[in-house]
């Protein structure tokens, strides 16, 4: 139980009551002595007022209203002087309680001056010019500066709507970061024509996501921003260097058609913005729009009617082939509801080794991770295949076959007949398809090993009702392989090169460029 402290006594200077001057003589006949001057000291004296503690008197009990005089008691609140009302709080002041959540991109900029600048006037002129330049470029790209202190500036690029698919705000933030680096090649006012880039170190970071924004957005006061995206942007800036802007995964996804990026190893994934992508006029006018429309229709048909289909894209040049497969990948992710897209290229094959595609299909579609112990691998594979309407013995058989593939690194999987392995892949992919249509995209199949080619061909010929599309890119010579061109009942082949006598394919299998 706490002890209440006694009230601190107030110190008051007690004045001695005035006394009349004494006149006359003393009893012994002497005249009275003249008054002495007060003695300076720390203690009281007869002639010095005493400094004593005066305790506040207890407040008297409220008196009842007098019926005779009609006066109110002294301490009645009604009898006191009226208290003035406090001025109302300023309307629109940013605070966390008034913040709203919205999609936005944040640009965080740090412009460090050259440490060799020792003159205060020169430093002030440089930072004033850099600060003005940063504000101008941010506003030109549609952003709002919400914080600026010496070398650090934070800009907000809000989404125009609540649509999470809107890519305009990350694009505006990335353009602002690029524009800042371009603008720094100019001269800042007051630096006698010296390039700003040579006198400052610029580091920038862009993060996209949901942020809490104060409701004063668009008002006279700058808004305030809060949330995880702000923290993510700070983390990116701490890891950035002067040679490029670091962006988060979501920013890169939204702007990869406009900017080139380099992946930075680590967790979470970070990307360095290398520069704007120059419009490829040749790629836009390469005459393959009709082929693209055809193949998109084939993919939609395969997904709608749950029919496995093989698409082969042939070209002697790698660039057109990759562009076509990239567009089909984007179409599958955007247009096929719940599509599960797996892409495999030469780099994946080199890193994974023999039978790498076999393991990747089971690994990816079972939701496995590299740190899973054997018992967790078996449990996750079992959970995947149990979506089938099959007996326990069939499920156990399928789990055993799939896990034997994962245990294979440099040796062949368990030796089974082609028909039995076909049944393994058929039932496994049929179980996976419960989560959505499957799209397998394989680049440069003509450079793959025999096991990879056999697997792609086997999957494309699976019987049953499975929403499965296999897209393979290869050199036209690959089409002449007997094991690839035979038994293709549900297959479409597109040749992107100009047809010639030396390079042709059958009319029913090949669609040449018109």
pLDDT in tens, 254-265: 998 899 898 888
Q: Would you state the pLDDT for residue 163?
A: 58
∠127-154-141 over CA atoms, to 5°?
Answer: 90
Please tell me the predicted confidence (pLDDT) of residue 422: 82
Which of 165-179, 311-325, 415-429, 493-507 has the lowest average pLDDT?
493-507
pTM of the complete model beyond 0.85:
no
Q: Which CATH class is domain 284-511?
A: alpha beta
Q: Angle at Cα 320 formed by Cα 316 and Cα 325, nearest 5°?
A: 110
- 463-507 pLDDT, tens digit each: 878 999 999 999 988 877 656 655 566 888 899 887 665 544 544
* Angle, in degrees to the nearest 10, between helices 374-385 and 392-406: 130
- Looking at the chain, the domain(s) classified CATH 3.30.70.1230 span 96-276
Class of domain 96-276: alpha beta
User: Which segments within 29-172 are labelled E, that is strand?
Assistant: 51-54, 100-113, 144-149, 152-158
pLDDT above 80 (res 70): no
46 pLDDT band, cuts 50/70/90, is: very low
For the record, the structure tokens of 260 come out as 């080139």
Backbone angles phi, psi at 383, to 5 degrees: -65, -35
Amino acid 53: pLDDT: 40
Q: Which residue has the higher pLDDT, 502 or 214?
A: 214
**Residue 64 scores a pLDDT above 60:** no
Q: Enumerate the CATH 3.40.50.300 domain ranges in the chain, comma separated.
A: 284-511
């Amino acid at each position: 139980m706490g002890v209440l402290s006694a009230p601190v006594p107030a110190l008051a200077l007690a004045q001695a009551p005035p006394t009349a001057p004494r006149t006359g003589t003393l009893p012994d006949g002497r005249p009275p002595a003249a008054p002495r001057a007060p003695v300076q000291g720390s203690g009281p004296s007869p002639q010095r007022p005493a400094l004593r503690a005066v305790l506040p008197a207890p407040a008297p009990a409220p008196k009842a209203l007098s019926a005779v005089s009609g006066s109110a008691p002294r301490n009645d609140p009604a009898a006191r002087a009226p208290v003035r009302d406090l001025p109302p709080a300023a309307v629109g002041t940013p605070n966390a309680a008034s913040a709203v959540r919205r999609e936005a991109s944040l640009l965080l900029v740090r412009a460090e001056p050259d440490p060799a600048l020792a003159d205060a006037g020169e430093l002030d002129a440089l930072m004033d010019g850099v600060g003005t330049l940063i504000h101008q470029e941010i506003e030109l790209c549609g952003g709002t500066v919400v914080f600026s202190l010496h070398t650090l500036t934070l800009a907000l690029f809000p989404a125009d709507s609540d649509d999470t698919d809107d890519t305009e705000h990350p694009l505006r933030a990335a353009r602002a970061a690029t524009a800042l680096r371009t603008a720094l090649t100019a001269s800042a006012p007051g630096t006698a024509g010296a390039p700003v880039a040579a006198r400052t170190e610029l580091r920038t970071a862009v993060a996209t996501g949901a942020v809490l924004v104060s409701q004063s957005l668009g008002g006279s006061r700058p808004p305030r921003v809060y949330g995880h995206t702000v923290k993510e942007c700070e983390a990116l800036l701490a890891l950035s260097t002067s040679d490029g802007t670091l962006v988060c995964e979501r920013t890169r996804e939204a702007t990869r058609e406009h900017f080139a990026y380099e992946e930075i190893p680590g967790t979470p994934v970070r990307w360095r913005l290398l520069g704007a992508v120059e419009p490829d006029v040749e790629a836009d006018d390469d005459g393959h729009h009709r082929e693209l429309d055809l193949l998109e229709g084939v993919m939609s048909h395969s997904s709608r009617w749950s029919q496995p289909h093989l698409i082969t894209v042939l070209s002697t040049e790698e660039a057109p082939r990759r562009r076509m497969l990239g567009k089909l990948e984007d179409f599958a992710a955007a247009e096929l509801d719940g599509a599960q897209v797996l892409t495999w290229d030469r780099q994946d094959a080199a890193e994974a080794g023999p039978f790498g595609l076999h393991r990747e299909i089971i690994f990816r579609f079972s939701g496995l991770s590299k740190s899973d112990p054997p018992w967790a691998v078996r449990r996750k594979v079992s959970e995947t295949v149990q979506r089938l309407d099959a007996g326990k013995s069939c499920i156990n058989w399928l789990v055993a076959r799939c896990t034997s593939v994962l245990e294979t690194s440099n040796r062949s999987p368990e030796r089974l007949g082609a028909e039995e392995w076909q049944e393994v892949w058929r039932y496994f992919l049929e179980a996976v398809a419960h989560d959505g249509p499957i799209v397998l995209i394989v680049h440069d199949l003509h450079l793959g090993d025999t096991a990879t080619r056999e697997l792609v061909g086997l999957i494309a010929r699976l019987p049953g009702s499975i929403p499965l599309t296999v897209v393979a890119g290869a050199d036209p010579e690959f089409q002449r392989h007997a094991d690839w061109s035979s038994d293709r009942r549900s297959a479409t082949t597109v040749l992107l090169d100009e047809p010639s006598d030396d390079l042709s394919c059958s009319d029913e299998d090949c669609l040449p460029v018109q």
